[in-house]
Amino acid sequence: MAHLKKRGVEDDVANATIYKLTENGLINDAEFAKAWTQSRHNAKKLSKRIIAGELRTRGVDQSAIDEALDEIDDESEYRTAFSLAMKKYSTMSRMEPEVQIRRIQSLLQRKGFGFGVIGRVIRELDIHSGEQL
């Protein structure tokens, strides 16, 4: 609706258009939210927090966002974070452990993962021992 208002479309025309599109099944926030969530989580390896923010900025209502994010469980989010960290870790074998940790933490923070997940990933990587998993 806001997008149509920006374009100068009158309210009654915008409402009628949105009603028709919704009635014909062409606008469905819940389906959009689910598809967006799966795409961003699997392809871009983003956390639920970042995905929720993206959906909010696109005007998706909170109930549709919550429903879509419920499909990503905590273990799946951890596996995504761990996969990202392993990929990054494999490129940093010659760096000091502190640098490795800092870079992995930064990557995971940019992707929106929380400190609990990041801490768990760092512990699992066991960087301080010098052993690669």
Per residue in 85-113, pLDDT (tens digit) is 999 999 998 999 999 999 999 999 999 99
Q: Does the pTM exceed 0.85?
A: no
Q: In the chain, pLDDT over 70 holds for what percent of residues? A: 94
- Asked whether residue 129 carries a pLDDT value surpassing 50, the answer given is no
Which residues lie closer than 8 Å to 115 by C-beta, 6 or more apart?
Answer: none
CA distance 100 to 91: 10
- Summarised one tens digit per residue, pLDDT across range 37-65 is 999 999 999 999 999 999 999 989 999 99
Q: Quote the percentage of the chain above a pLDDT of 90.
A: 69
Q: How far apart are the first and last CA of the chain?
A: 50
Report the alpha-carbon distance of residue 40 to residue 26 in Å, rounded.
21
d(CA 86, CA 80): 10
Residue 1 is predicted with a pLDDT of: 67
